[in-house]
Structure 1
Amino acid sequence: MTDTTYSELLGTIDEFAGRLDPQEQAACLYGLIAPLLDRVEQEDEEFSDEPVLSTPEAVEGLRRAAAEELIDVDAVYDHLTAVGLYYSEDQDEERHVIAQTADAGAAWLRLLTGRELRSTSLEDDEDLIPSFAPSTFTQIVDLLAWTRSGQVYIHWEDAIADPGLCDLPAAIHELRAMHLEITT
């Protein structure tokens, strides 16, 4: 497995995830996202004139959804997408990582509910997560490989073509670690 390319590893993860039912996929992904949520929860900056939720409340809603409690998924989704958009516009790399975590959480909610959710922050055709991997599951995993390694997302082919852009080995390390978490 140490000589496996990023793309091949994503394919292996996708193949495994394809054998899981949607609830198992959601549970598996939540385990990958959960360690990152504390950092997002610390953000209490207001970026909306009339917020329905605070960022800590949205993160708590995500946790409650994972515990199969009833929540207003659209409100949590809307807030997480707003966090993702707002923080991704900042030049600070750490804020981009927070944005990526919020986007992964929002995409996870869509996967959990199995339906499109409402957001006032996104256009209808705008993607929350990079769409280079074969399925929503692996698209989230792809984003998390970069997020968990503390990096702004870079498409793996761009990272291979220009190694100075990022730390591809760190992203591959995280992808391998997630592969183990997912399959064991």
Structure 2
Amino acid sequence: MKETAYDQLPRIIDEFTERLTSRARLACLYDLMEPSLDRIEREGEELSDCPVLSTPDAVCELRKAAAGQPVDVDAVHERLTEVGLCYSEDQEPDRHIVSQSAHAATAWLRLLAGRKLRTTADLEGDDQELVPSFAPSAFTRIVDLLAWTRSDQMYFHWEDAIADSEDCDLPAAIHELWAIHVEISGW
């Protein structure tokens, strides 16, 4: 596997998933993301004074949404956005992985809902995109983030990872992106 292959895989994945129905793409993406939800679910820390949902409850509700059950996706999105933003500020690498998992989950929820979801004014900031935007579609942006998350690493753009190989393991991320490609192809 060449290091430059990383930038080609999201396009290949997009070409394959364009043939799937919207529902099948969401289910496939959920299957890819689901193992990382356990990390989020274990986080019980209170992050605000008046949470609508606890973090474990938000993950439970996300799983219900994936199963097609009705849930308050805005409340789930709000809580997971809060987790993602708060944990991304922590210096502990494991907390960044939780943050990335939460960001992937919120992006998936937006795809599921098909609309912008609620967050409190404190969390919106400049309404910045919390999932890196280096892949060609919303689907592959989440996949890109998951490749790093599933290889237990803080996210790096692949070009930055080549230049800064001391802080990350690009081959591990490439391996994980290939594994995701195989999972999607077999889906």
> Which bin holds the TM-score, normalised by the shorter protein?
over 0.9
Normalised by the length of structure 1, the TM-score is: 0.96
Q: Greater relative contact order (Cα 8 A, min sep 6): structure 1 or 2?
A: 2
Matched AA of 2:30: Y
In the TM superposition, residue 168 of structure 1 has moved relative to its aligned partner by 0.2
Q: RMSD over aligned Cα, in angstroms? A: 1.1
Identity of aligned residues (%): 62
The residue number in structure 2 matching 1:145 is 147
Q: Which amino acid aligns with 2:183?
A: E
Residues 92-143 of structure 1, C-alpha deviations (whole Å, 9 max, x = no match):
0000000000110010001111111111112353112000100000000000
How many correspondences in the alignment? 183
SS in 2 for 1:10: helix
**Distance in 2 (alpha carbons) for counterparts of 1:67 and 1:119:** 23
Which consecutive aligned stretches of 4+ in structure 1 deviate over 4 angstroms post-superposition?
Answer: none
More displaced 10-residue stretch of structure 1: 17-26 or 44-53: 17-26
Which residue does 1:134 correspond to in 2? 136
- Cα distance in 1, alignment partners of residues 41 and 124 from structure 2: 21
Correspondence for 2:27:
27
Map Cα deviations across residues 48-92 of structure 1 (whole Å, 9 max, x no partner).
010000000000011000000000000000000000000000000
Match of 1:158 among 141, 144, 160: 160
Distance 2:64 2:92 in 1: 30
Give the 3 Å change call, closer, same or farther, for CA 74–124 of structure 1 in structure 2: farther
Q: Equivalent residue for 2:5?
A: 5
Aligned to 1:178: 180
Gaps of 5+ in 1: none
